[in-house]
Structure 1
Amino acid sequence: MVLAYLPSPSQGVWHLGPIPIRAYALCIIAGVFAGVWLTRRRWAARGGTPADISAISDIAVWAVPFGLLGGRLYHVITDPELYFTAGRQPIRALYIWDGGLGIPGAVALGALGAWLGCRRRGITLADFADAAAPGLVLAQAMGRWGNYFNQELFGTPTSLPWKLLIDPAHRPDDTPTVAFYHPTFLYECVWDLGVVALLLWLDRRYAMRRGRLFACYVLAYTAGRAWIEALRVDHANHFLGLRLNDWVSLALFLGAAAFLILSRRPAPADGAATVTPDDPGELNKDEKAPAP
């Protein structure tokens, strides 16, 4: 007897006449709005002017389309056989609503869009990245529910009480009779919400600036992605026994760790006052404080 499980949604698309309303898209849109809202609040708390606060939405207009394009490109480039081998339909590489957005590509190209937006508004990209980091991972947490509605990116079979029921049409070919799987979308959502809380605490405790809080986001997110990736059973290319996304996460984790180490200020000379590395309130009076 099944005592407990998470049901899958009966549908992920609704129609208003000829117009399809897709849950996957709604989750992404909701995540974008939540991320922009939190970023605006954080920019204001950091002392941003009203003009700068309003600029956050303008920057998002650049960052979001670039991020969606980058996420799709990453997915297609890392899994080209899903679209460009015999019997496949290459046109489906454009079907973003079917799922398939790679977070590393979305963040990378989204950062390019954010840089363009920041240049237009005279805002430093590092300052914007630190303000946006908690909102970015909040958007990722909400966007993961799109995978739930698509019944995709779940994990290995399990009998845990929070197991996820997957309809027969969406089950892996090698386990067609197994009904319950790890809800990895939920694991990543919960992990991401934990990262949001961690980043907000770090920023309150250490007032992290100059891109360091964004680096902490990369560290925390990729650490969680590593163990979640190990549970997933969706198609993925492997290299030396690991999924490609694991190698990307490892490279990003090491890069973020190196940035945090190298970006620390050198220790003060003998007799000089000790300055907390990330405390803008202790800057030398002749040094101009950075933008929020």
Structure 2
Amino acid sequence: MDFFAFQFRSPGPILFDVGPISLRWYGLLIASAVLIGVIIAQKLGKYRNIDPDLIGDLVIWLVIGAIPMARIYYVLFEWQNYAQHPQDIIAIWQGGIAIHGAIIGGIIAILIFAKINRQSFWELTDIIAPSLILGQAIGRWGNFFNSEAFGIPTNLPWKLYIPPNNRPIEYINFDYFHPTFLYESLWNIGVFILLIMIFFWSIKNNNKLKNGTIFLIYLISYSLGRVWIEGFRTDSLMLGFLRIAQVVSLTSIAFGIFGLIWLYILKKSLPDIKN
């Protein structure tokens, strides 16, 4: 058991230093997720007869929309702390971005991009969804290197060591915690495989699925995992006694289920904006 505990011990947030410049694991992982996401989305776009260059342009919009919104979302719900240290608001390299904020920012970016380029919003979300969830799986490892976003104390074989200065005050005497970053990363990889299988099943069956289906399944499947994993977290963003991520996830599940019912039971298409 000690062997496994040793394996989940972060080497620290910094990959290496070059003079006064530090390359951080968090930044490297985000950059890698974006690059891999572009490659996958462009390949999927070809199956829907969408120009890879268009997807490349869309990804730029997504980065511009998602990353700042992810930080803004986090800072707003942690404003009590950031109001006392405003210089840390832009210190995104220290961690502190919220995936739900990134999703909101990304959706806004796709809406605007689809309108400008006269593309189907829902078709674009179907193409981006697999890349998005794989990017989330990769990005979660940034929490590992930053020793953040961990769960409550545990002695399970896959326990995660957290340095004393990163522990909540109420758990200062505990050494090992649930590696919730790992739970979510593995869950997201499973969702990625599910979405890819559904995508190619649809292609094999002459694009049998309606536009928006894969994105709605993404919302449901990712959110189902986030609901239970968030219950382990010690650093959840809170609104009163409510865990914001669980509220948003439950709302996303409801929206996704309603959307699928609308598409396949009520026999209607989701409202689009390309025209």
State the TM-score, normalizing by the size of structure 2. 0.89
Q: How does 1:14-33 map to 2 (within 5 A)?
A: 14-33=16-35
Superposition misfits of 4+ residues, deviation over 6 angstroms: none
Q: Unpaired segments of 5 or more residues in structure 2?
A: 203-207
Q: Deviations over 1:149-188 (max 9, x none)?
A: 1000000111111111111121111111211111000100
**Where does residue 57 of structure 1 map in the other structure?**
56
**Where does residue 75 of structure 2 map in the other structure?**
76
Q: Which has the larger radius of gyration?
A: 1
Q: 1:238 Cα shift?
A: 4.4
State the secondary structure of the residue aligned to 1:158. Answer: coil
**Where does residue 217 of structure 2 map in the other structure?**
216
Amino acid at match of 1:249: S
**Where does residue 234 of structure 1 map in the other structure?**
235
**Where does residue 36 of structure 1 map in the other structure?**
38
Greater CA drift, 65-74 or 222-231: 65-74
What's the RMSD between the two structures over aligned residues?
2.0
**Aligned equivalents of 1:113 and 1:83: distance in 2?**
26
**Where does residue 256 of structure 1 map in the other structure?**
256
**Aligned equivalents of 2:189 and 2:4: distance in 1?**
24
Q: Unpaired segments of 5 or more residues in structure 1?
A: 268-276, 279-290
**Where does residue 205 of structure 2 map in the other structure?**
none
Q: Deviations over 1:98-146 (max 9, x none)?
A: 1111111111111222233334443222111101111110011001111
State the secondary structure of the residue aligned to 2:169. Answer: coil
**Overall identity of the aligned pairs, in %:** 33
Greater CA drift, 115-124 or 26-35: 115-124
The alignment status of 1:146 with 2:142, answered yes or no, reads: yes
Task: Say which of 182, 185, 199 aligns to 2:178.
Answer: 182
Q: Which has the higher helix share?
A: 2
**Aligned equivalents of 2:103 and 2:91: distance in 1?**
20
Q: Is the 8 A contact 1:60 1:114 kept in 2?
A: no
**Where does residue 98 of structure 1 map in the other structure?**
94
**Aligned equivalents of 2:100 and 2:209: distance in 1?**
23
Q: Deviations over 1:231-265 (max 9, x none)?
A: 001153244x4312111111111111111111226
